[in-house]
Amino acid sequence: MTYEITKVELFGENRDGDQITYTCASGTAIPLGTLLTLSDPRTAAANVASGGATAGVAAMQKSGTDFSTKVSVWINGIFEAYASGAISAGDEVQAASVAGSFTNCIGTLQTGGKKIGYALETAADGEKLTFRLQL
């Protein structure tokens, strides 16, 4: 199953929150609320690998047939996602991938992982988790 990340509260100077525009592949669909991988040069893609660099959360729905090569990404705010493993309030978190279960999930920071924020509540594996995204 695939679950989107849900925005709860955005931070920044305008009501749309802090956003960055990234290049993305033409002909690729990116659903709103997808956790995106960062690659060189300043490119975002929808497949986040556990511990990889994270660009942020897709702030828009990108169609696979629009020929666009740009996507807006939230980098600062409070979001809900699904927990991968047990997570305690205050734990530093990273993107996690769980094969055959769900994507767009968040796990505790592992050695060598890339921190994307911290948990605002405690959650068991597979439960919804509110976390602070800080990139």
Asked if residue 1 is part of any domain, the answer here is: no
**Same-domain check for residues 82 and 70:** no
Q: What is the pLDDT of residues 21-76, one digit of tens each?
A: 999 999 989 999 999 989 999 999 986 666 678 999 999 999 999 989 999 999 99
User: Are both 26 and 63 inside the same structural domain?
Assistant: yes
Give the end of a domain, one of 75, 110, 126: 75
CATH number for 95: 2.40.340
Q: What is the predicted pLDDT for the residue at 16? A: 81
Residue span of the structural domain in which 119 resides: 77-134
Per-residue model confidence (pLDDT) at position 60: 94
88 with 58, same domain: the answer is no
Residues 71 and 93 in one domain: no
Pair (55, 88) in one structural domain: no
Identify whether residues 61 and 83 lie together within a single domain: no
| Burial 19-39, CB ≥16 within 10 A → b, else e | bbebebeeeeebeebbbbbbe
When pLDDT is cut at 50, 70 and 90, the band that residue 14 belongs to is confident
Has residue 101 got a pLDDT over 70?
no
Q: Give the number of domains in the chain.
A: 2
Confidence of residue 104 (pLDDT cuts 50, 70, 90): confident
Instruction: Give yes or no for a contact between 39 and 80, defined as CB atoms under 8 angstroms apart.
Output: no
The pLDDT of residue 7: 94
Whether 85 and 42 map to the same domain: the answer is no
